């Protein structure tokens, strides 16, 4: 009986600790939601001139400047009462009516700063505040389904350690030339795909980015560097059971990997959610455009130590042989519902347990399955930048002939 008495006290303590942690998570989630509800947003469209001579390097400089606009909760009050979170942004490429359009969704409070940072790198472009294009689309997947549309969508993520970068525009330029008309713009693949869509088809690509204020990935980067720098290798055990080691030289691949990590550590980094989906009337819907076409676009950024793939627990494809092996059609339906909603709302996954549970579609899809990528300013500029004049699919973009400028202030009125 004494044993059970002690056991009951331990059980009470465990339950009390769990209840406290859950209450703490619920409180923080609530305060963060209040903070986000008071944050007005603005959607900016980038209107590109007929010739853009600057390459992705200009966009890399923009992302580095954008990182400098970050905020973070520094005091107990800011974190636990104000619910302050680091402001995030959405960079979007949309293919509609056989035309590619570029958008940035950013908090209204820093709109002018974002525009100024972008103009500093691309003074020839035009930035216009526009109505959200989602207002002209079905409000939900159920409505889209009722109107005869189907979708395939997925979330992309980097498979290996965030310390290793994806293939960037620097490697594209090194392999194929310079920025004087001889480079291969990696965006050409996506723009070509959008230009070949039928008028009723649509492609959406989103990069939800949040400045990496905590830098947890840097611990893993240090670990990877330690493994690569090791100049000894264990070859086995001797007769006495002691480990046998030998000295070795680092390979060329290891030297390049160390250089990549060091380079990434020097740059501004962002926690990034990559989403994309294809929507079309069911009569002409082609599953392979989203599942294989968009997937192959991201595969061009793979390299020996880093690669993109689809998050199997988020993508809309479900089969009976996929875990958990039951109700695959039901799971597929609710994944479409959830992904459509997340694309429309530019949803950034919650950090708190309560937030993840609240945003789950129990039991069909859980918000615990989202995967962030840690991308540097160079990597982001590779994925999202103003297309250069070497892109052959310029007819698929609405381009402005000249930039609009404000009238001089000294003119008489």
The domain ranges of the chain are 38-214+249-397
Measure the CA–CA gap between 349 and 369, rounded to whole angstroms: 10
What was the pLDDT predicted at 375?
96
Average pLDDT by stretches of 10, the chain with 413 residues: 70 93 96 95 91 86 95 93 95 92 96 95 92 95 96 94 93 62 76 90 96 90 87 64 66 88 94 96 94 92 91 89 85 94 95 94 86 95 86 59 55 54
What was the pLDDT predicted at 171?
86
What was the pLDDT predicted at 181?
47
């Amino acid at each position: 009986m004494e044993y059970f008495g002690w056991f009951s006290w331990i059980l009470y303590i465990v339950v009390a600790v769990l209840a406290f942690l859950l209450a703490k998570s619920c409180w923080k989630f609530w305060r963060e939601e209040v903070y986000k509800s008071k944050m007005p947003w603005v959607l900016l469209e980038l209107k590109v001139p007929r010739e853009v001579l600057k390459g992705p390097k200009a966009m890399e400089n923009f992302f580095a400047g954008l990182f400098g606009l970050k905020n973070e909760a520094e005091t107990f009050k800011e974190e636990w009462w104000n619910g302050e979170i680091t402001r995030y942004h959405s960079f979007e490429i949309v293919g509609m009516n056989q035309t590619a359009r570029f958008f940035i969704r950013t908090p209204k409070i820093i709109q002018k700063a974002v525009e100024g940072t972008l103009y500093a790198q691309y003074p020839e472009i035009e930035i216009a505040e526009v109505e959200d294009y989602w207002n002209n689309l079905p409000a939900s997947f159920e409505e889209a389904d009722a109107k005869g549309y189907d979708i395939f969508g997925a979330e992309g993520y980097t498979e290996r350690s965030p310390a290793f970068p994806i293939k960037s525009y620097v490697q594209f330029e090194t392999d194929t030339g310079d920025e004087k008309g001889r480079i291969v713009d990696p965006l050409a693949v996506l723009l070509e795909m959008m230009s070949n869509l039928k008028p009723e088809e649509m492609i959406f690509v989103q990069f939800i980015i949040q400045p990496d204020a905590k830098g947890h990935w840097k611990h893993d980067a240090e670990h990877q560097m330690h493994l690569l720098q090791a100049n000894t290798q264990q070859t086995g055990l001797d007769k006495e059971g002691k480990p046998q080691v030998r000295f070795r030289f680092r390979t060329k691949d290891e030297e390049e990997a160390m250089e990549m990590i060091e380079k990434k550590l020097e740059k501004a980094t962002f926690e990034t959610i990559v989403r994309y989906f294809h929507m079309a009337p069911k009569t002409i819907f082609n599953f392979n455009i989203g599942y294989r076409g968009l997937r192959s676009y991201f595969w061009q950024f793979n390299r020996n130590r880093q690669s993109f793939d689809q998050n199997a627990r988020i993508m809309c494809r479900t089969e009976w042989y996929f875990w958990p092996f039951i109700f695959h059609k039901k799971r597929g339906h609710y994944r479409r519902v959830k992904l459509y909603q997340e694309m429309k709302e530019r949803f950034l996954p919650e950090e708190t347990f309560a937030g993840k549970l609240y945003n789950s579609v129990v039991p069909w899809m859980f918000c615990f399955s989202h995967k962030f990528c840690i991308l540097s300013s160079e990597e982001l500029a590779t994925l999202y930048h103003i297309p250069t004049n070497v892109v052959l699919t310029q007819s698929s973009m609405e381009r402005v002939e000249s930039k609009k400028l404000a009238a001089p202030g000294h003119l008489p009125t």
